[in-house]
Structure 1
Amino acid sequence: MAKEDPYAALKYKEFNVFLLVRFAMVFAWSMQFVVIEWEVYSLTKNPLSLGIIGLMEVIPAVSLALFAGHVVDQKEKKGLLVKCILGFSIISLGLFLLTWPTIIKDWSKNSILYAIYFLVFLGGIVRAFLGPTIFSLFALIVPKKVYPNAATWSSSVWQMGAVLGPALAGLTINWIGVHWSMCLIFFFSLMALITLSKIEKKPILNPKIGEPVLESLKEGVKFVFGTKIILGAITLDMVAVLFGGAIALLPIYAQDILKVGPEGFGILRAAPAVGALVIMFTSAHFPLNKKAGLKLLGSIFGFGICIIVFGISTSFWISVIALFFSGVTDGISMIIRQTILQLRTPDEMRGRVASVNSMFVGSSNELGAFESGLTAKLMGTVTAVVFGGSMTLITVLFTAAISPTFRKLDLRKDLLEHENSSQ
């Protein structure tokens, strides 16, 4: 097998456009979530309110996920993505107005809070469709022979957006305030919409157009639960993210524990971004396909260690370093998991598989925020973070012990099969 070109996927023009759209949306969405966290905690000073934000988004995202996967497999992908981005833009505009002092000067604190929760709930509906649509469109832009390399770039861009967005949110809250931070988020969503126009409409590859919804959903779930490698990767990451959701408590650390204010909050949020940047470039040159199972287990174990160190640290810079390495390990985990999903999912089932993945992993970010907020309320912030990191370590050790197949997973064979099939 020839040495893999680290820039193979970037030779396809539409894939570069796709990366820009994905970055802009992940950046805007994650930035918005952090701005909302800061605003809500400033209003309430209650850790549980941070958990409720996650819960408001995860309820519709999980409830509609399977149906959204069915719709994505039945419809043209670019058109669906346009609608998703439009929906997000409307929600961002609503949050911009809700943080405008001139508009809300006569509103009660509870009225503002409930309105924010409502818009977050609508965002959960949009997100149920957004993830499966992006995952499915990805496979129509690049040939299968470059899936692993494309997955590396796509996952790295996602990781960068997911950490750079919150990092900028912390800084802009300090520089220009919550209101104008929301305006910047709205701008990024419009930029994504404009950029998306450079991608052509794609064919629908599903041979079962018009298939009954229940039959379609049953087939998708059956495939995921019948493919042990996919199920293992999804489940492992879900539990790790669920119990490692300490990032949701950063406003408490910045304001009450480390006492570093909005500027320090921005630095803490930026630390994982630097780790993600390192992984983006190194993984493109040093593919993670060899011994992928062990690397996935090791990266999530390392993530758990980082969360524990961050939880017990009372030093600002030790906390920054711990978060930096959490970005490194989380980035490795995401790249490997996305490569597994792309290589082992049939084209006609990508929407449904991605929807199941979003139920397990994507929603676990918000469930993790709720779990962290709830445990922080019950047992204290530091104890809650250490508990979450410890549960992540236990999950990895348990998975490694009971699944030798997963430990021995190597994706080089999958890559070779795709290269041969494309020749």
Structure 2
Amino acid sequence: MSQLFAQRRFMRFWLARISGTTANQMLMVAVAWQMYELTESAWDLGLVGLFQFVPALLLTLPAGQVVDRVRRSSLFALTMLGQGSVALLLVWATLAGFVSREVILGVSVVLGVARAFQMPAQQAIVPLLVPESMLARAIALSAMGMQAAVIGGPALGGLLYVRGAVDVYAVCTTLLLLAFVLALLIRERHQPAQEAATLRSMLAGVVFVWNNKLLLGATSLDLFAVLLGGATALLPIYARDILHTGPEGLGLLRAAPAAGALLMSLLILRWPIHRRAGHVLLASVAVFGVATIVFGLSESFWLSLLALAITGAADNISVVIRSTLMQIDTPNEIRGRVSAVNSIFIGASNQLGEFESGAAAAALGAVGSVVLGGVATVFIAAGWFRLFPALAQRDQLVQDKPANP
């Protein structure tokens, strides 16, 4: 393939993903703050994550089957359109005055359905846009763009929310429609799976990951680390009740991990991870846990921002290594289904992690929940050294292929 042509295709996808991610992050800030204004309940903040996770869990494996059979760019475009419709509904609900706890939980379900298809589609499309020699850098650049959006989205969402939730939702609608149009312009090398759509083929990704202990270790590491160590759902509580700031402060807190991740992406682009990939991955998760403990104990806004930025930088290292391993070590014909399995792990760690944080905070308080999660993450990183030696011993990200005789 022409390298210039590949770069153009990738850039369309990159811009679509940035636009969609920016809107999604703004949406999450507004929804979380609006829910906390309505109910002042840590439990309800956790339910927002749970209501996104359950449909994603139920649909992700069938979604992986679909991703391996249809044009991935078209499916990604439809998920952008679906989320744009949710944002437009929230504009209407807020203007008409019928936004409520139930409405927010209902749109959370729709977002979960959309993401069940979005995540495997956007993960599996990158290897079809660029040659393998460019894949690691493309993933790092994609992560950098995503993190830039995760910085700008929450910050912009928090600032706009000062004017009102309608402004946030209106901008989200516009950005998601832009992402929809950009995604429609992508034309990847479509290579549909040829095997019949059966229960066995749907579970092929699960079987592949289970039998590949390196991939199982990498994906389960992310699952437990973010499930236990994530504090995103509790940020409205920290912003208002512990750090004594408003929605603009919440936006900055949500943006801080992405700021750290963006800086780390730039460093990885300049100095790619060539050796000792397994050790670097496990060490980054341990750093994530320690920084989470610092955030949980902090009563200083600026120290909290710094701790969250470090969690983002550490998580970005994990994302780049795990994503590259997943794409390099998986055959294209089942890449959608393997990406779907990865999406389940990511969804469980994010959305289910938000529910876990809310439930733990209801029982232990916000500080106790975050600190306990950070301690557990450090132990998880240490335990994975022994449980998954193939992961710990992985040296190069892209293994040298044997020369043809």
Same fold judged by TM-score > 0.5? yes
Per the alignment, residue 194 of structure 1 pairs with: 181
Structure 1 residue runs of 4 or more that deviate by more than 4 Å after TM superposition: 8-11
* Native 8 Å contact 1:167 1:266 kept in 2: yes
Aligned counterparts of 2:165 and 2:199: Cα–Cα separation in 1: 43
Aligned counterparts of 2:323 and 2:74: Cα–Cα separation in 1: 23
Q: Pick closer, same or farther for the CA change 1:412–1:363 going to 2, 3 Å.
A: closer
Per the alignment, residue 272 of structure 1 pairs with: 257
Per the alignment, residue 40 of structure 2 pairs with: 45
Q: Deviations over 1:309-361 (max 9, x none)?
A: 00001111111111111111111111111111111111011110011111112
Shift, 1:30, TM fit: 2.2
* Native 8 Å contact 2:77 2:181 kept in 1: no
Alignment of 1:14-413 (within 5 A): 14-100=9-95, 103-104=96-97, 107=98, 112-174=100-162, 176-200=163-187, 202-208=189-195, 211-413=196-398
Amino acid at match of 2:49: G
Shift, 1:412, TM fit: 4.5
Q: Please tell me the root mean square deviation across aligned C-alpha atoms, in Å.
A: 1.9
Shift, 1:82, TM fit: 2.1
Aligned counterparts of 2:273 and 2:388: Cα–Cα separation in 1: 20
Shift, 1:179, TM fit: 1.3
Aligned counterparts of 2:5 and 2:342: Cα–Cα separation in 1: 26
Amino acid at match of 1:165: G
**Number of positions where the alignment pairs a residue of Structure 1 with one of Structure 2:** 402
Aligned counterparts of 1:363 and 1:96: Cα–Cα separation in 2: 28
Shift, 1:400, TM fit: 1.3
Aligned counterparts of 1:413 and 1:358: Cα–Cα separation in 2: 22
* Structure 2: segments with no counterpart, 5+ residues: none
* Native 8 Å contact 2:60 2:343 kept in 1: yes
Shift, 1:397, TM fit: 0.7
Amino acid at match of 1:195: L
Amino acid at match of 2:250: F
Q: Pick closer, same or farther for the CA change 1:177–1:10 going to 2, 3 Å.
A: farther
Aligned counterparts of 1:411 and 1:67: Cα–Cα separation in 2: 33
Q: Deviations over 1:345-402 (max 9, x none)?
A: 1101111001111111233201111011000000111001101111111110111133
TM value normalised by structure 2: 0.95
* Native 8 Å contact 2:53 2:352 kept in 1: yes
* Native 8 Å contact 1:303 1:329 kept in 2: yes
Q: Deviations over 1:119-142 (max 9, x none)?
A: 110111111111111122212111
Shift, 1:272, TM fit: 1.9
* Native 8 Å contact 1:289 1:336 kept in 2: no
Amino acid at match of 1:313: S
Aligned counterparts of 1:289 and 1:155: Cα–Cα separation in 2: 18
Aligned counterparts of 1:124 and 1:316: Cα–Cα separation in 2: 31
Q: Matched residues, percent identical?
A: 38
SS at match of 2:361: helix
Shift, 1:282, TM fit: 0.9
SS at match of 2:152: helix
* Structure 1: segments with no counterpart, 5+ residues: 1-7
* Native 8 Å contact 1:85 1:192 kept in 2: yes
Per the alignment, residue 417 of structure 1 pairs with: 401
Amino acid at match of 1:335: V
Shift, 1:267, TM fit: 2.4
Deviates more, 1:83-92 or 1:48-57: 83-92
Aligned counterparts of 1:371 and 1:31: Cα–Cα separation in 2: 22
* Native 8 Å contact 2:289 2:378 kept in 1: yes
Deviates more, 1:272-281 or 1:230-239: 272-281
Deviates more, 1:324-333 or 1:153-162: 153-162
Deviates more, 1:263-272 or 1:289-298: 263-272
Amino acid at match of 1:352: R
Amino acid at match of 1:132: P
Shift, 1:413, TM fit: 4.7
Deviates more, 1:133-142 or 1:300-309: 133-142
* Native 8 Å contact 1:79 1:201 kept in 2: no
